[in-house]
Amino acid sequence: MFDKILIANRGEIACRVAATAARLGIRTVAVYSDADAQAKHVAVCDEAVHVGGAAARESYLRIDAIIDAARATGAQAIHPGYGFLSENEAFAAACHEAGIVFIGPPVGAIHAMGSKSAAKTLMEGAAVPLVPGYHGENQDTAFLHERADEIGYPVLLKASAGGGGKGMRVVERSEEFRAALASCQREAASSFGDERVLVEKYLTRPRHIEIQVFADTHGNCVYLFERDCSVQRRHQKVLEEAPAPGMTDARRQAMGEAACNAARAVGYVGAGTVEFIANQDGSFYFMEMNTRLQVEHPVTEMITGLDLVEWQLRVAAGEVLPRAQDELRIHGHALEARIYAENPDNNFLPSTGTLSTLRPPAAVQFELGNGGGAGAPAAVRIDSGVREGDTISPFYDPMIAKLIVWGQDRDEALARMRRALGQYRVVGVQTNIAFLGRLVASEPFSGADLDTGLIERHRDTLFPAAAPVPATTLALAVAAQLSRETVVGRRKYQDSIDHHSPWQLATGWRLNGDYRRTLSFDHGETRLDAVLTSGAQASTLTVDGQTYPYRYTHDGGVYRVTLGERRVQGHVDFEHETAHVFADGQSWTLRWHDPLAQAGTQEGGEGRLTAPMPGKVIAVLAQPGAKVEKGAPLLVMEAMKMEHTISAPADGEIEEVLYAVGDQVPEGAQLLAFKR
């Protein structure tokens, strides 16, 4: 076994690999960029080496810098994690040339599976079922258009060298093909340096089921069962689970054997994932093979009790696979939810900012390596690469954490996931936590009616109109604001000359009569007023014309409120003048309306269109003087390797375009001006 390895990655996966290495007594070396000097993965490793600037191409994608770091620190092997250089054959070759073990498949296997087109040809020879489509080298636009017309719409365009949902477009009609192809090629070139695409028949209501395979250098290959990754947004996975609901033993064996055939066809070694698209009738087709550890590997670990990173290390060190196929078993059910800094209500645009509050649910240790099964503890697992106070920057993937739960069956796992999501508290960035809660609780997901179009098909349920703020939520916010004022009042009281005068206390004390005041909060565009009346014996709170007996207590950030006959408790985290209320599995953002602080402010911004996130302008679609209708595309920005089209918010005439193609744009910057 190795004495020291370098982890050529960052964030959650770097921390995950470091944890297993530490358990095995292997020293670890982190690499970091300018933006990650204080990152969690740097802190958890034994050593760290700076490899360049904040942008990935200046640091985590620099093969020479990473090889030099491994040499300088005496690392015997490099674990690439996922993303970045994990499926880069030039990097694997550079490791080999430097005498450093690449903890992954051979260069030839990466090359064979690196091109989706070439991989399809190989799979056809290995008798692995394929979706009808064109996977050849001819990339002429007219030729590809003809192939799409022959296959029949809808078709799916996919970057030949792609992954992670980037460089993918569904084309519904022939007349939409060329524009979609151009966009797909741009995104593919930006993300992978290769604009080639393949064209496939797009199956309606398909499921995305993948098989975890493992092979060693001694000719052994096994499959560690399947994961269902059907629930996706923008072709990227949101929820994953194992085993796949409704999977029969016969179908599992057929898919597993097909996946092993695919691995053997390319001389595979190490951890790999063979992805299939499956019809509702049980038929399945090869999509691609990911020659690395997958983001969703924890659900496989949870149902097998095995540490897949440990298996990677042992195979890379030349050992035989720890278990044979007939020794592998499924125990229970596992779900994984990806917690992202993004805004689901705005097409899942990434959100950047500082994690001023990051409080995940309590994790319960699930012991890997024991095989799972009878006696395995109830499990909630958090895999994360950030801590409270860290920044989600525009340079990298906006993942905050992976929330993984295990149960004896799917129903128990679902209940545990719903509860865990309800306990998550994040302040400082927008997140998808509330959306995930609705998704997990939705009838199609809880009933296992799964396919890749689930989110789009159930948009009305998953993206409901904003509900009124409950009176109990406003009561919690009032309690938190009163507590803040009490703390300030006590400080002033301690600093005052007369410590015995009740006039120095900010408690609403009155010599005669009741104390009455209105506390106001803004929820979006809605003003919420709560009238607090305090007397010698009791207090009341009036909300929406209803008056309730009111009292509260608090311990740290936990508030307990009695409002009439109801008693509720929740957390309230203030960020500047905004109260983030977490209660009953939901969260609400209420901005404290201080009459003095708000004095003199005016509405503004008419005639402006601002950037919803930091990024680069890659296409300007409208020029000054153009008259546009609401929803018309105006320009295209690229952020985090994805294209985002900025559309007109209303009918109008463009007066000025303030950025050109290639310009880097900060979040909130004005992009265009409209004539008033």
Q: Which residues are catalytic?
A: 292
Say how far apart CA 291 and CA 538 lie, in whole Å. 66
Tokens of 507: 């408690």
Q: What is the DSSP string of 202-254?
A: --SS-EEEEEEEEE-TTS-EEEEEEEEEEEEETTEEEEEEESPTT--HHHHHH
Say how far apart CA 670 and CA 664 lie, in whole Å. 12
Say how far apart CA 471 and CA 563 lie, in whole Å. 8
618-640 in b/e form (b: 16+ CB < 10 A) is bbbebeeeeebeeeeebbbbbbb
Tokens of 324: 């044979």
Helices 177-192 and 141-151 meet at what angle, rounded to 10? 120
Q: What is the DSSP string of 571-598?
A: EEEEETTEEEEEETTEEEEEEEE-HHHH
- Which residues are bridge partners to 635 per DSSP? 620, 646
Say how far apart CA 385 and CA 575 lie, in whole Å. 23
Cα–Cα–Cα angle for 456, 459, 464, rounded to 5 degrees: 160
CA atoms lying within 13 Å on the CB side of residue 399 = 20
Tokens of 311: 């298996």
- Which residues are bridge partners to 77 per DSSP? 5, 101
How many other β-carbons are positioned within 10 Å of the β-carbon of residue 256? 21
Tokens 């604009």 locate to 195
CA atoms lying within 13 Å on the CB side of residue 305 = 18
